[in-house]
């Protein structure tokens, strides 16, 4: 039982407030030499949308930690076209790049944003682009602008248009209420997917970003559900006695790896989502848990204590052969694989404190990325630039993010309450 306890995620989460609210972001550490970029206000031409598109783009790029935004109050002019730009004015402000743009309505009543990225030093237009959407999709359009600008300058695909899922918990009159929420990657537009007096944990995104799988205790014991994020339709996938946990979608979305103890010991199983058939993958007296898929769809990374302490193993689905990958530290768990297929984020303990670390699957190099206490549940952004995790700030649970080189950090505490169990979405179509 002690082995089971130390391998399972925390089921009950402490909360310190009686109100809910969206996540807010505070950048605590940025790049030592950020790129200086100016975002001129987007000319709306009389179109009322209720939000400042330029400010959303500013916040996105600032949050990445790789950019420093030129304050709007320092700008000498607000051009909306490249032809109206006097490069000397922007050089005086120290801006290396400038984004200008304007809005218009097209025939079907949708909003069209035309924007350009200008290289101030070279005095040239790097690109000109258009994005279109409904007037109630202004945040989505702004995030698309941020993605395009970020990729052009850094060479890395932007992930500002992605979303995050997480669990909130609150205590009122001695009782807990748990909520499964989905929000933009910047914490805005929080949407409640499920509320329950029983714990909710382990949210996992489908590869197309249209569904979540998670564990809910609403039936009196842990059960795995899948839920459509648009229709909110739910399907219960497991109802076995004992442990039902750690759902993980296959890369093609047709299967789900999970953990069941219905045969007496926590083992890794494979569920075919079309047929509902379960296949047992591991057979060992140790605890095998926390499966995560590798990109080839033929291997899983799992946490197992078959070597005496929780460590990461690679499991061949077809043969059942396992290979131990981690040896440094007395605890390595909760693997989350970066898109490069090489970098693994995990919970690592060298002595007594849990930290988030990155592990290179080729070289075996382990690097601790965090310095806080009780760090858990790492999840990597689909572009591999950042990872998010749960930690403690005082007596409250908060979400935090760090780049895989530990050069950029930010915190996403809720305005009120306690948050845990983050899961970063894939790129959304």
Question: What pLDDT is recorded for position 129?
Answer: 97
Question: What pLDDT is recorded for position 15?
Answer: 29
Question: What pLDDT is recorded for position 22?
Answer: 63
Q: Which residue has the higher pLDDT, 151 or 1?
A: 151
Q: Which residue has the higher pLDDT, 43 or 417?
A: 43
Positions of CATH 3.40.50.10070 in the chain: 33-154
DSSP string, 297-357: SSEEEEEE-TTSS-EEEEEETTT--EEE---SSSEEEEEEE-TTSSEEEEEEESSS-EEEE
What's the rounded Cα separation, in Å, for the pair 281 and 93? 60
Question: What pLDDT is recorded for position 10?
Answer: 31
Mean pLDDT for the stretch of residues 325-341: 95
Pick the closest to residue 336 from 381, 273, 371 (CA basis).
381
What does pLDDT average to over the chain?
91
Pick the closest to residue 55 from 121, 99, 114 (CA basis).
99
Question: What pLDDT is recorded for position 415?
Answer: 67
208-260: pLDDT as tens digits: 999 999 999 999 999 999 999 999 999 999 999 999 999 999 999 999 999 99
What's the rounded Cα separation, in Å, for the pair 411 and 2? 32
Kindly report whether the global pTM for this prediction surpasses the value 0.85. Answer: yes
CA 175 to chain centre: 29
Query: Residues in the chain, how many?
Result: 429
Question: Where does 33-154 sit in CATH, by number?
Answer: 3.40.50.10070
Question: What pLDDT is recorded for position 17?
Answer: 30
- Confidence band for 407, pLDDT divided at 50, 70 and 90: confident
Is the pLDDT at 13 greater than 50? The verdict is: no
Highest mean pLDDT among 48-57, 170-179, 394-403, 412-421: 48-57
What's the rounded Cα separation, in Å, for the pair 358 and 345? 5
Positions of CATH 2.120.10.30 in the chain: 162-424
Question: What pLDDT is recorded for position 4?
Answer: 42
169-198: pLDDT as tens digits: 988 888 889 999 999 999 999 999 999 999
User: What homologous superfamily does CATH list for 162-424?
Assistant: TolB, C-terminal domain (2.120.10.30)
What's the rounded Cα separation, in Å, for the pair 217 and 200? 7
Is the pLDDT at 304 greater than 80? The verdict is: yes
Question: What pLDDT is recorded for position 308?
Answer: 94
Question: What pLDDT is recorded for position 238?
Answer: 96
- Confidence band for 27, pLDDT divided at 50, 70 and 90: low
What's the rounded Cα separation, in Å, for the pair 306 and 315? 13
CA 153 to chain centre: 22
């Amino acid at each position: 039982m002690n082995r089971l306890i130390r391998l399972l995620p925390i089921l009950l989460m402490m909360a310190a407030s009686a109100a809910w609210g969206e996540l807010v972001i505070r950048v605590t550490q940025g790049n030592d030499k950020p790129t200086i970029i100016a975002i001129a206000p987007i000319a709306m031409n009389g179109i009322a949308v209720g939000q400042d598109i330029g400010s959303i783009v500013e916040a996105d790029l600032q949050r990445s930690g790789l950019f420093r935004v030129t304050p709007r109050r320092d700008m000498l002019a607000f051009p909306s076209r490249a032809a109206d730009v006097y490069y000397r004015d922007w050089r005086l402000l120290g801006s290396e790049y400038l984004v200008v743009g304007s809005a218009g309505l097209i025939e079907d009543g949708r909003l069209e944003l035309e924007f350009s990225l200008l290289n101030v030093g070279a005095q040239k237009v790097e690109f000109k682009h258009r994005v279109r959407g409904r007037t109630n999709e202004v945040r989505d359009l702004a995030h698309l602008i941020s993605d395009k600008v970020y990729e052009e300058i850094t060479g890395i695909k932007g992930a500002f248009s992605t979303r995050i899922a997480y669990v909130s918990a609150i205590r009122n009159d001695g009782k807990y209420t748990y909520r499964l929420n989905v929000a933009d990657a910047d914490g805005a537009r929080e949407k409640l997917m499920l509320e329950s007096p029983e714990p909710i944990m382990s949210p996992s995104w489908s590869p197309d970003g249209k569904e979540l799988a998670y564990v809910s205790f609403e039936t009196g014991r842990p059960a795995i559900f899948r839920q459509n994020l648009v229709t909110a339709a739910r399907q219960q996938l497991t109802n076995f006695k004992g442990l039902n946990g750690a759902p993980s979608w296959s890369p093609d979305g047709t299967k789900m790896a999970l953990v069941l103890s219905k045969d007496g010991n926590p083992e890794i199983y494979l569920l075919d989502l079309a047929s509902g058939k379960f296949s047992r993958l591991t057979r060992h007296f140790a605890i095998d848990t926390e499966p995560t898929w590798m990109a080839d769809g033929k291997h899983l990374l799992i946490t197992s204590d078959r070597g005496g302490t929780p460590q990461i193993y690679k499991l061949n689905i077809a043969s059942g052969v396992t290979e131990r990958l981690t040896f440094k530290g007395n605890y390595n768990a909760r693997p989350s694989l970066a898109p490069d297929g090489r970098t693994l984020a995990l919970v690592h303990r060298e002595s007594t404190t849990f930290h988030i670390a990155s592990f290179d699957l080729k070289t075996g190099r382990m690097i601790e990325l965090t310095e806080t206490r009780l760090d858990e549940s790492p999840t990597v952004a689909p572009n591999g630039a950042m990872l998010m995790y749960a930690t403690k700030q005082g007596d409250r649970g908060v979400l935090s993010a760090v780049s895989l080189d530990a050069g950029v950090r930010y915190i996403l505490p809720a305005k009120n309450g306690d948050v845990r169990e983050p899961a970063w979405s894939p790129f959304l179509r």
